Amino acid sequence: MPNTTGARAVDPVDRAHLTGVTRPSPPIHRYAASEHLSDVVDRYWIPVWSLAEPSTQSTLQHPVCLIVVSNTYARLYGVVQGRSSVTLEGDGWAVGAMLTPAAGRLVLGRSVAGITDTYLDLAEIPALDPDSFVAEIHAAMADDPHDPAAHAVAIGAVEQRLAAYLPVDEAGLLINDVITWLRDHPEVTRVDELAAHVGITERSLHRLVEQRVGMSPKWLIQRRRLHDAVEGLKAGETSLADMAARLGYADQAHFTHDFRAVTGMTPGEYLADQPRD
């Protein structure tokens, strides 16, 4: 049974979601994956919305593929190298599975580089049995999309499909380790440091990351830094110079350039839009 009890906190500060006072988020229910599936799925998120006006939600996607079944579409998303955005309208919901770095290639059946910055309809992935998969989730969410019991059924449908990709191959376990280790070592700012941890050449690391994530090792490091920045700004860290130094930038100007190039705003602008107690 999926963990839908809230016993283990999942993503208490969302490092990827670019929310703020002027960019509010709809209610999002977050759940951990079942332990036996930890090699293929990281977590689930289920937003439910009822909006009088359209609302655009922006994220800095984690370096993983996503399976999303909503009330209007069902897709496998590749990694978006910049900022990704979706506009929500009217009444709706989505059941999302954030895969592990290993799992995108397993589900797709080939390198995920071919779906970078785009998506495939699940109908194009027969191995997922997409018609019955989507029908099960729609049936689960039909009566009350806020109901945790409905979420448990929907997540169960996802987990049933993803269990078919176990056990994960050696390269998949390696890329999972690479990205987990990088997340937990914010002092790492160079590709050679990452390759040294894995014990492979930089060329082999580049090939591994491209095949499983669709990006480069340098992109992984930049995305980790930006996620750390978003987390710090949401937590109210106000010294941007200190933040730049902590993230390994040569100076605040380089940090500001990177943050603005990807998010469309400066760190100061994003900080000013955060709620204050």
49-87 pLDDT tens trace: 999 999 999 999 999 999 999 999 999 999 999 999 999
Let me know whether 109 and 225 are in one domain. no
Q: Are 188 and 211 members of one domain? A: yes
Report how far residue 82's alpha carbon sits from residue 70's, in angstroms, rounded to the nearest whole number. 23
Query: For the domain that residue 261 is a member of, what is the CATH number?
Result: 1.10.10.60
The reply to whether 251 falls in a domain is yes
145 three-class SS:
coil
Each residue's pLDDT tens digit, 224-269: 999 999 999 999 988 999 999 999 999 999 999 999 999 999 999 9
Q: Is residue 22 part of a domain?
A: no
Do 47 and 156 have their domain in common?
Answer: yes
In a domain, 32, yes or no: yes
Residue 34 placed within a domain? yes
Does residue 178 sit within a domain?
yes
For 9, 51, 52, 57, 58, the CA distances from 88, given in Å and listed in that order, are: 26, 8, 10, 8, 11
My answer on whether 59 and 157 are in the same domain is yes
- The pLDDT value recorded for residue 13 is 52
Mean pLDDT in the chain? 93
178: tokens are 């690479």
Do residue 194 and residue 265 come from a single domain? yes
Q: Are residues 69 and 140 in the same domain?
A: yes
Written as six digits, the tokens of 257 are 């350039």
pLDDT class for 170, splitting at 50, 70, 90? very high
Within this chain, do residues 189 and 214 fall inside the same structural domain, yes or no? yes
In this prediction, residue 122 carries a pLDDT of 98
Q: Which of 130, 148, 165 is the last residue of a domain?
A: 165
- The pLDDT assigned to 14 comes to 82
Q: What is the pLDDT of residue 11?
A: 52
Asked if 149 and 182 sit in the same domain, the reply is no
- pLDDT for the residue 2: 41
pLDDT at 272 over 60: yes
Q: Are residues 258 and 187 in the same domain?
A: yes
Q: What is the pLDDT of residue 17?
A: 93
CB 127 within 8 A of CB 101: no
User: What is the C-alpha separation between 265 and 194, in angstroms, rounded?
Assistant: 29
Question: Which residue, 109, 133, 165, sits at the end of a domain?
Answer: 165
Based on the domain organization, do 96 and 193 belong to the same domain? no
Q: Answer yes or no: is pLDDT of 4 > 50.
A: no
Reported as a pLDDT band with limits 50, 70 and 90, residue 7 is: very low
Task: List pLDDT tens digits, range 182-239.
Answer: 999 999 999 999 999 999 999 999 999 999 999 999 999 999 999 999 999 999 988 9
Phi first, then psi, for residue 68 (nearest 5°) are -130, 125
Looking at the fold, whether 44 and 159 belong to one and the same domain comes out as: yes
The domain boundary, picked from 144, 165, 186, lies at 165
pLDDT > 90: percent of the chain: 91
Q: How many domains does the chain fold into? A: 2
Range of the domain at 199: 170-272
Q: Which residues contact 272 (CB under 8 A, 6 or more apart)?
A: none
Average pLDDT over residues 113-133: 97
Share above pLDDT 70 across residues of the chain, in percent, rounded to a whole number: 95
Establish if 3 belongs to a structural domain.
Answer: no
pLDDT bucket at 8, cuts 50 / 70 / 90: very low
Kindly state whether residues 121 and 191 are assigned to the same domain.
no
